[in-house]
Structure 1
Amino acid sequence: MKLSLASFLVAAVALQPALSVRTNSLLIDPAALPALPSAQQAASASADVGLNLTNIQGDILIGMKKNKELFFFFTIVNPTLFRSQLGSGILPLITPTSQLLAVDTQPTTAVNIAFSQRGLNALGITDDLGDTAFTNGQIDNVATILGDETSNWEPAFAGTGIHGVFLLASDTIDNVNATLSQVQNILNGSITEAYSLQGQARPGDEQGHEHFGFMDGISNPAVTGFSTPLPGQQVLDPGLFLLGESGDLVSRPSWAKDGSFLAFRQLQQRVPEFNAFLVDNALSNPNLTADQNAELLGARMMGRWKSGAPVDLAPTVDDPVLAADPQQNNNFNYTHPGFDEATDQTHCPFSAHVRKTNPRSDLNPEDTANHIIRAGIPYGPEVTDAENASNVSSTDPSLERGLAFVAYQSDINNGFAFLQQNWANNANFIFGKATPPGIDPIIGTGGLGQADVPRTPSGLDPSDPTRIITINQDFVVSRGGEYFFSPSLSAIQNTLSLGA
């Protein structure tokens, strides 16, 4: 018998295990990143639009805030047993958004779950969720849309065995591992491990930065009914990220409401090669040292300094004070009095990664359809002395590093896939510029399924707009991924645990 949503919420609270009260957050909170709302703020904002934060899995809305996170990809081998344990044993562990907003309500380890189309099929769920990219799986558009070379993919992503993923987040790896053991014991052999990837925030002052050294996640949008917007931050309807909410224009099964599509990508970063490229192609500002000119090139390729300060506001030197102030660090749109936006690359190159993936006033009106919430985390160790000395990444698999990229949206073809194909990989985007921008110098791919195709992004040298800086290698290498559906807690209780 299916429960009403109100009855489900009462039941879910009753099922929640006793929590040891935390005194420190399981999340990180670098000054540069937009702060999460308090529980009170979120409750008030969500009430205004009818958003149910106790029904939405927590990972979707919290962004780049994880400290330690394990991605445990699994195959369902006994669907009947899995369904029975999903509702009775796993559901009480699933962490809703509301539980993460106050330290004293956070669990020891936050647990979220998502399913591939094959995983839903294994559970007997064959409803059309209204997203062809999800239905077909990531490998279906790997070359023509994403530009990946599949020989670099982890075999698990290239096969058909990934039915779902557990996302386990905490402040220690011991907590994560203990919760994984708990999950596996509850599921009692109904799943097998297909693949796993351990992510963690970088140490010390690098917390919140990805492996190239740049602060990550500053430009995530604000969501109506959840976030308190900051200056320069786009405010978007929840339906761009949550199925069935205001702004979602696609017909969905009623049970899919408050779910979200998760695009996962394992993106290896060739850090020694990236650093060597910056040194070898350093700019020549006479007021800067050689190291500063190398840093300037990297900042112009990214569109932000490593601190997070946007080059559009700090075009020549880094400004850590600006970077650490969320009231200022996202408050720009690429327009400047006395400068023509169609020709001016002195402030920020047209090709810069953050501009290619969020063009702001370059589009008129500003884009409100093609957005994602990024919720990834770095993986792998810091660069070794030997790698730094050789300028070459180690081939030892244990030393691979990069970004476990996670993006949430209600339409993958309008979200992640659109950004990669139509903006990052499109040498002519941003349209209407006097000089073609070129391909995104960070994540862009220059060929369909080909590695290390030369790219010539424009505007990287502000003192010489005609200078061509050719990039002959990929600094980011896709190791594969999959598309998943992150269901609401009520969907887990009333649909997925029951099957067809």
Structure 2
Amino acid sequence: MRLTFSLSLFAAAALQPAFGSTNVVSLKPRTRTNSLLISPAALPALPSAQQAASASADVGLNLTDIQGDILIGMKKNKELFFFFTIVNSTLFRSQLGSGILPLITPTSQLLAVDTQPTTAVNVAFSQRGLNALGITDDLGDSSFANGQIDNVATILGDETSNWEPVFAGSGIHGVFLLASDTIDNVNATLSQVQNLLNGSITEVYSLQGQARPGDEQGHEHFGFMDGISNPAITGFSTPLPGQQVLDLGLFLLGESGDPVVSRPAWTKDGSFMAFRQLQQRVPEFNKFLVDNALSNPNLTADQNAELLGARMMGRWKSGAPVDLTPIVDDPVLAADPQRNNDFNYTHSGFDIDTDQTHCPFSAHLRKTNPRAGLTPEDTANHIIRAGIPYGPEVTDAESAANVSSTDPTLERGLAFVTYQSDIANGFAFLQQFWANNANFPGAKATPPGVDPIIGTDGLGQADVSRNPSGLDPNDSTKIITIDQDFVVSRGGEYFFSPSLSAIQNTLALNVA
């Protein structure tokens, strides 16, 4: 056991730069031969270390100071979310600098296999957690300051009786995010972190996420490829066709485009993280598609059910957008990042304000990023998605019964994570004003209805009927009533993911 932890420490502690007046411990990582990240063909590739270094140099961005999870997106293989309470702030702060900081994985370290640690480690703090560390600065985000529970009634529309109790309480001070290619690696590094912190924290909750197996890698539990639509970030990634290129400040505090002018200096290059545990009721979703299958005469019953699901999501399960292939899937298109995101809902000879033959206005993909449906295209309300599925595959018994098991060990869903520099302009905006708004996009003869995948009535009531239109390509006025929730919020919290220099110079206690 000691050998396992020793090797994990040696591998996880990467060559880190020194920040401020206190040097970070520098240990050379073990050379990996395989990546800790997944790389499905459909997802945009990360930049190489050389590409990222060149792009970041052009804008003065320090990728060695930014925690790796923020810019990496939906590419984790195994990831544990370990939520904790600080019970001894002095001890925690002393160990944060001397023991934990060398394990924190910056963006630069994840861009090449041979610099990746055995397990990537990131950490983020709630407002209560910062308070516990004696940090009382106003970070300029009221949603973060008040916590996610404050957003439930009027913004998110959650049924709080479904929340894990820990998320509704006041005990979560922070979360460690531990990512690797095996759960054994994750668990070994977690034990190492706990040993280093020496009883200064207690676990209050944890959630193990992992990429789905085999050909389903990169797909969420409903079966759809996830993460294709993340934006390109100035100073980090080279845009692919169809990707919006967005300012750093939409995601990193204190950078160009940050909507909040005045922030504490130490928060620069940190980001606000919105975490949500979203249960997915997969057997119920599949049964709904069969029971309400569309009626295209050129398709089989199974294909008509698949078509309804694709139009609800806005993509086929392969990842191909319905806007480019409206009636049948195109896996070749889906696997080509040069084409699978290159659309904006405009088509020659069709009016974008009325055309739903290609993609419904109510489709999840269109609701959360309307592209050319807004003039000019929206550049203010964007997020980087960095979540991962959790829970086992659907069992044969669940499939036969068309009902999700009540056994908590069989719960499955998405550990939903977004990064943004302003929660109210990012995640919360998308949920409240777009997904939950039956009249968005506006000025339509038949209201689009709420998002058929994640939309709610906005009143915190479970299984209330939703009535999206446009899902039938042959009748855009047809309403398909959805009287159950396929996605159930189990709660969440808002966190701040600080830069490595902020951890060392502001959050950690530097002991001479």
TM tier, smaller = over 0.9
Q: Distance in 1 between matches of 2:173 and 2:210?
A: 24
Other structure's SS at 2:352 match? coil
Q: Distance in 1 between matches of 2:20 and 2:231?
A: 28
Residue 248 (structure 2) pairs with residue 238 (structure 1)? yes
Q: Which residue of 2 aligns with 1:442?
A: 453
Question: 1:259-408 to 2 correspondence within 5 Å?
Answer: 259-408=270-419
Q: Distance in 1 between matches of 2:21 and 2:134?
A: 27
Q: Which residue of 2 aligns with 1:160?
A: 170
Residue 215 (structure 2) pairs with residue 205 (structure 1)? yes
2:431 is aligned, of 420, 440, 447, to 420
Q: Distance in 2 between matches of 1:282 and 1:446?
A: 24
User: How much has 1:237 moved relative to structure 2?
Assistant: 0.4
Q: Distance in 2 between matches of 1:9 and 1:403?
A: 38
Q: Distance in 2 between matches of 1:7 and 1:19?
A: 17
Identity of matched residues, %: 87
1:447, 1:453 within 8 Å by CA — same for their partners in 2? no
Other structure's SS at 2:19 match? helix
User: How much has 1:466 moved relative to structure 2?
Assistant: 2.8
2:480 partner amino acid: I
Q: Distance in 2 between matches of 1:209 and 1:11?
A: 43
Shift in CA distance, 10/79, structure 1 to aligned 2, threshold 3 Å? closer
1:29 partner amino acid: S
Q: Distance in 2 between matches of 1:249 and 1:212?
A: 35
2:48, 2:111 within 8 Å by CA — same for their partners in 1? yes
1:202, 1:378 within 8 Å by CA — same for their partners in 2? yes
Q: Which residue of 2 aligns with 1:431?
A: 442
1:18 is aligned, of 24, 28, 43, to 28
Provide, for residues 164-196 of structure 1, a one-character-per-residue CA deviation record: whole Å limited to 9, x for no partner: 000000000000000000000000000000100
Provide, for residues 28-87 of structure 1, a one-character-per-residue CA deviation record: whole Å limited to 9, x for no partner: 000000100000000000000001000000000000000000000000000000000000
Q: Which residue of 1 aligns with 2:182?
A: 172
User: How much has 1:436 moved relative to structure 2?
Assistant: 1.2
Residue 162 (structure 2) pairs with residue 148 (structure 1)? no
Deviates more, 1:439-448 or 1:253-262: 439-448
Question: 1:52-131 to 2 correspondence within 5 Å?
Answer: 52-131=62-141
1:265, 1:482 within 8 Å by CA — same for their partners in 2? yes
1:112, 1:167 within 8 Å by CA — same for their partners in 2? yes
Residue 238 (structure 2) pairs with residue 228 (structure 1)? yes
Q: Distance in 2 between matches of 1:447 and 1:83?
A: 40
TM-score, scaled to structure 2: 0.95
1:46 partner amino acid: S
User: How much has 1:11 moved relative to structure 2?
Assistant: 6.0
Gaps of 5+ in 2: 1-15
Aligned CA-pair RMSD:
1.2
2:154, 2:458 within 8 Å by CA — same for their partners in 1? no
Q: Distance in 2 between matches of 1:473 and 1:205?
A: 29
Other structure's SS at 1:8 match? coil
Shift in CA distance, 146/138, structure 1 to aligned 2, threshold 3 Å? same
Q: Distance in 1 between matches of 2:443 and 2:508?
A: 51
Question: 1:19-58 to 2 correspondence within 5 Å?
Answer: 19-58=29-68
Question: 1:478-497 to 2 correspondence within 5 Å?
Answer: 478-497=489-508
Q: Which residue of 2 aligns with 1:453?
A: 464
Other structure's SS at 2:224 match? coil
Q: Distance in 1 between matches of 2:361 and 2:493?
A: 30
TM-score, scaled to structure 1: 0.97
Q: Distance in 2 between matches of 1:34 and 1:18?
A: 29
1:68, 1:169 within 8 Å by CA — same for their partners in 2? yes
Other structure's SS at 1:466 match? coil
Q: Distance in 1 between matches of 2:463 and 2:258?
A: 38
User: How much has 1:18 moved relative to structure 2?
Assistant: 3.1
Q: Distance in 2 between matches of 1:84 and 1:370?
A: 38
Q: Distance in 2 between matches of 1:225 and 1:254?
A: 20
2:200 is aligned, of 190, 200, 225, to 190
2:212 partner amino acid: R
Other structure's SS at 2:434 match? helix
Q: Distance in 1 between matches of 2:509 and 2:249?
A: 26
Other structure's SS at 1:378 match? strand
User: How much has 1:17 moved relative to structure 2?
Assistant: 2.8
2:149 is aligned, of 139, 159, 178, to 139
Shift in CA distance, 230/348, structure 1 to aligned 2, threshold 3 Å? same
Q: Distance in 2 between matches of 1:148 and 1:336?
A: 37
2:17, 2:64 within 8 Å by CA — same for their partners in 1? no
User: How much has 1:315 moved relative to structure 2?
Assistant: 0.1
1:438 partner amino acid: G
2:44, 2:228 within 8 Å by CA — same for their partners in 1? yes
Provide, for residues 426-482 of structure 1, a one-character-per-residue CA deviation record: whole Å limited to 9, x for no partner: 000012323211100000002411001101101001112232210000000000000
Q: Distance in 1 between matches of 2:27 and 2:442?
A: 53
1:342, 1:434 within 8 Å by CA — same for their partners in 2? no
